[in-house]
Amino acid sequence: MKPIFLLAVIALMVGAPAAAQSTQWQLDPAHSSAQFAVRHMGISTVRGMFTKLSGTARYDPADSKNDSLEVTIETASVDSRVEMRDNDLRSDHFFDVQKYPTMTFRSTKVESAGTDKLKITGELTIRGITKPVTLDVDGPSKPVKDGQGRLHMGVSATATVNRTDFGMTGYQGIVGNEVTLTIDAELVQTPINSK
């Protein structure tokens, strides 16, 4: 009976990691960024970024049904390399950062889209207006350990939105309505808190 009991314990120990592959990850702000690109007068593309963002993700490479992603971006951190334009972007013409200091994305569905690709559907909230958005994701990359033994992985997510859907209707004919959003993120594995 003892050998059988021992085999059962070993089987449980070996099987436990396979049953709990979902891991929690924290976005590393120092190695992550959110960028945007929009046409100016239909002749050139203006690019900018948000320098302050945070987020968390859950990821199981074997089963995406419990995967999730949440990202928060501080709208006042917008940087298009032109101070006058940045001040306008922070005003009520665009992000209205005094009233809406953050924009958020919260996933509702994560699914595989091929080798090393995901499709993440969720809710994007800008200026208090929430719309469904789908992110096309390259990655996540194969996890790599840092000097402290923590796992890191990277993703790049892209979506195109219409700014007028979020109440930004000014400067028609000067600023394009379609805006491409890109989030390049490095994620660090963190322990999942038990409740």
Would you call the peptide bond into 29 cis, given omega within 30 degrees of 0 as the criterion?
Answer: no
More confident residue, 2 or 26: 26
pTM for this entry: 0.84
Q: Which CATH class is domain 24-190?
A: mainly beta
Strand pairing report for 117-126 and 144-145: unpaired
pLDDT over 70 percentage in the chain: 87
Confidence tier at 79 by pLDDT (50, 70, 90): very high
Nearest CA to 185 out of 26, 24, 37, 27 is that of: 27
Alpha helices (H) along the chain? 2-19, 83-90
The per-residue pLDDT for 66 is 87
List CB contacts of 77: < 8 A, sequence separation 6 or more: 50, 51, 52, 53
Q: Which residues of 92-105 are buried (b: 16+ CB within 10 A; e: fewer)?
A: eebbbbeebebbeb
Euclidean distance between CA atoms 83 and 148, whole angstroms: 39
The per-residue pLDDT for 21 is 61
The per-residue pLDDT for 195 is 45
pLDDT per position as a tens digit, 158-173: 999 999 999 999 999 9
**In the chain, what are the domain boundaries?**
24-190
Residue with tokens 């195109």: 160
Confidence tier at 92 by pLDDT (50, 70, 90): very high
Euclidean distance between CA atoms 194 and 148, whole angstroms: 23
The per-residue pLDDT for 192 is 62
The per-residue pLDDT for 193 is 58
More confident residue, 14 or 117: 117
